[in-house]
Amino acid sequence: MRTNNLPVIGALALLLVAATASANEHHATWERQADNEVANLPSLQRGARNFMAYCSGCHSLKYIRYSRVAADLKIADGARDSLLVRPGDKATDYIKASMPAADAQDWFGKQPPDLSLVTRSRGTDWVFNFLTTFYADPASRQTGVNNLQLPGTAMPHVLASLQGVQTLRAADHKEEAHPAADSETDKGEHEAKAPSPFEPGVVGSLTPAQYDEFVRDTVNFLDYVGDPTQLERKSLGVWVVLFLLMFSGIAWMLKKEYWKDVR
């Protein structure tokens, strides 16, 4: 039995390795990590400002209210009403897009999605890569740009005035995908190890590093909006876990005392 089974298990293990290796090839794009810190309050505040200035024209955050954002991000009432709340809205309103839905349908062919949960459904890295990989593409007649993360996106490059419009290197035009930086090894670094597939085209008002920071703050804010209780949750969790460990310790001592009688 044993001699029959061991090779089988060995073969299984080999196959598993092979399967994992082949599956990884499919995820090859030029991917970087958002590396946002949701505990970083100034970054969240900048992100909220960025969102209201550049995103909220078309995208809603229909599950969160201005007042909640202001309270969680420690934005004073004065600043909240003058900077955050859109004129005509109340502080207790949910954050809606300014653009009427019917117009959106006409202009873009689809309604821009609500972004309340985008970091939960797509992940922060995905949003970061989406916002940093717009490039000029004459083939796109609607917007003149395309996107590496979401090829064929209906969204125009709204942040072009900041980033400029980069172009994809000629060699990279043929394939959408690029050899990936091994995402396991470059954790904690902002830049992927693989060379960027882009070259500068039209220059924007921010340097590439500044632009990355701008996007990182925005993604950070969306990360908070996706799960606004996450900070409260973690700080409460520390106490709950400490209590339960103490409880377990006392229970264990009590059990030991009683079990002395068992021979």
Partner 1 sequence: MGAVTETKGGGFRAWLNKRMPVDQFMADQLTGYYAPKNFNIWYFFGSLALLVFVMQIVTGIFITMHYKVGEATAFNSVEYLMREVPYGWLLRTLHSTGASMFFVVVYLHMARALLYGSYKAPRELLWVIGMLIYFALMAEAFMGYVLPWGNMSFWGAQVIINIFNTIPVVGPDLVEWIRGDYAVADATLNRFFSLHVIALPFLIALLILLHLVALRQVGSNNPDGIEIKENLGPDGKPVDGIPFHPYYTLKDVVGVGLFLTLFAIVVFFAPTFGGLFLEKPNFEPANPMSTPEHIAPTWYFTPYYAILRAIPDQRLGALMFALSVLAFVFLPWLDRAKNKSIRYRGLASKVLLGMFFVVFLVLMWLGLQPAEPAYVLLARICIPLYFAFFILLPFVSKADGNGPVPTRVTYDAH
Number of H helices, E strands in the chain: 10, 6
User: Which residues from 210-249 bind partner 1, rule CB under 8 A?
Assistant: 226, 228-229, 233-234, 236-238, 240-241, 244-245, 247-249
User: What is the DSSP secondary structure assignment for residue 60, as one 8-state letter?
Assistant: -
| CA gap 121, 124 in Å, rounded | 9
Q: Which listed residue (16, 39, 101, 209) binds partner 1 by CB under 8 A?
A: 16
| CA gap 146, 138 in Å, rounded | 9
Q: Which listed residue (12, 53, 79, 203) binds partner 1 by CB under 8 A?
A: 12
Secondary structure (DSSP) of 77-129: HHHIIIIISPTT--TTSEE--SS-HHHHHHHHSSPPPP-TTHHHHT-HHHHHH
Q: Which listed residue (24, 105, 121, 142) binds partner 1 by CB under 8 A?
A: 121
116 binds partner 1 (CB under 8 A): yes
Nearest distance, CB of residue 13 and partner 1, angstroms: 9
Pairing between β-strand 134-136 and β-strand 145-147 as defined by DSSP bridges: antiparallel
Q: Which listed residue (91, 117, 154, 158) binds partner 1 by CB under 8 A?
A: 117
User: Which residues from 40-59 bind partner 1, rule CB under 8 A?
Assistant: none
Let me know: does 93 contact 66? Beta carbons within 8 Å.
yes
120 binds partner 1 (CB under 8 A): yes
Q: Which residues pair with 95 in a beta bridge?
A: 61
8 binds partner 1 (CB under 8 A): yes
Pattern 56-75, binding to partner 1, x per CB under 8 A?
A: -------xx---x-------
CA dihedral 173, 174, 175, 181 (to 10 degrees): -50
Chain length of the chain: 263
256 binds partner 1 (CB under 8 A): yes
Residue ranges binding partner 1 (CB under 8 A):
1-2, 5, 8-9, 11-12, 15-16, 18-19, 22-23, 26, 63-64, 68, 116-117, 120-123, 226, 228-229, 233-234, 236-238, 240-241, 244-245, 247-249, 251-252, 254-256, 258-260, 262-263
